Amino acid sequence: MPGFELFGDKERAQVQEVMDTGVLMRYGFDGMRGGQWKALELEKALESKMQVKHAQVVSSGTAALTVALVSAGIGAGDEVIMPTFTFVASFESVLALGAVPILVDVDDTLTLNPKAVENAITQRTKVVMPVHMCGSMADLKALKSICEKYNLLLLEDACQAIGGTFEGKPLGSYGDLGCFSFDYVKTITCGEGGAVITNHEEYKLNADHYSDHGHDHIGKDRGAEGHPFLGYNFRISELHAAVGLAQLERLDEFLAIQKRNYSILREALEGVDGVTFRRVPKGGEENCAFLNFFLPDELSAKKAHKALGENGVDGCFYWYDNNWHYYRKWEHLTDRKSLGNLPKEVLNGLQDFSKIDFSKSDHWVGRNISCLIKLGWSEIEVRERARKIVNVIESC
């Protein structure tokens, strides 16, 4: 990742087909578009690739999460359980609906700890949202069992893990709903874009209507369409969908490159004293977008991360001190900073972060270094990178 590293003739050809029609909007202008419906094509291609009945493409991964939640009826005061380690979009999508994000610990998978999830369930809990961070998955079997026990929705945030699988199923398809991001730094990119996938027809219809101002899309006259409920504008453009179509066709190609590069780096690090790797749940296969490993303690990880940067090894992340991906730097959430007044359901429902102990998350994230796997590396470059990483860590 990311897919933009290998932009080429296939992406250009798809975009040119849109430009030749001049129709950049996914709806309407039937007579002008010459039979070109890129967003619809991308949805059909996703349904096939992800082995689901329905897909809805939208303007971003954040939009996908918001649309997925509202399509299942999530709203004001409903609680959504999610991990302390994710991207800010996960809780932003919840707050946008007046619902309440409930953060819980991660474990050695760097994703939701099932025991922490079950301990956090209340009468207001409606959704468990595992976030498959850095290319690998949560313990989906355990989480699905919990959801069935308490009649909760299982929503997979697979924005960073497209192409990974669990028990033979594509990530995103195991739960009730799954979401992807196609932003500029994802394994496949539209530039900006996202998608919701599901096997529930009701959720698909709701997502289809909600993401386009509530339009029911019945008939061929857009101006005469009905509005069965309120919606917003989360549409993807035909240009973005065209790029996504080309990239999705190349997903297997990208995954094979990622796996090769990941395997070279991991094999080199397996012989380094003190290095261990994140746990991948039994039955799971990563998409190999990142290589995640642990050092013995927080101090060692910080020292190694700094040394890697100083020695020219870019693309290695220490999420523990990252502003976007770990709860410790989410002051806008923990201090409830908002341009306008937050809904009372949110104010009354948010956790008191001054009193919560997330030391179990700190134990894992504080020791983790996450190395981005690029598509553009040659095998020679990967092996040289592996040599540098090993030398740096062994010298720390």
Please report, to the nearest 10 degrees, the dihedral formed by the alpha carbons of residues 86, 90, 94, 97 taken in order: 160
Is 155:178 a contact under the CB 8 Å cutoff? yes
Question: Active-site residue 186, yes or no?
Answer: yes
Angle at 234 between CA 7 and CA 20, to 5 degrees: 45
Task: Give Cα 282 to chain centroid, integer Å.
Answer: 21
Taking Cα atoms as reference points, which of 297, 284, 89 lies closest to residue 179?
Answer: 89
In this structure, which amino acid lies at residue 117?
V
Which residue stretches of 151-210 are H helix?
Answer: 201-210
Q: Any idea of the CA torsion for 255, 256, 259, 263, to the nearest 10 degrees?
A: -170
User: What does the DSSP 8-state code read for residue 296?
Assistant: S
> In 3D, which of 40, 27, 25, 57 has the Cα closest to residue 223?
27
Tokens of 83: 């991990």
Q: Cα separation of 34 and 383, whole Å?
A: 48
**Residue holding tokens 């069935």?**
148
Other CB atoms within 10 A of residue 53 CB: 12
CA distance linking residue 386 with residue 268, whole number of Å: 6
Nearest to 3 by CA among 202, 183, 133: 183
> Which of 312, 304, 285 lies closest to 366, judged by CA?
304
Question: What sign does the CA torsion over 315, 321, 323, 327 have?
Answer: positive
Exactly one of 38, 144, 186, 302 is catalytic; name it. Answer: 186
Amino acid at 31: G
Residues with catalytic function: 186
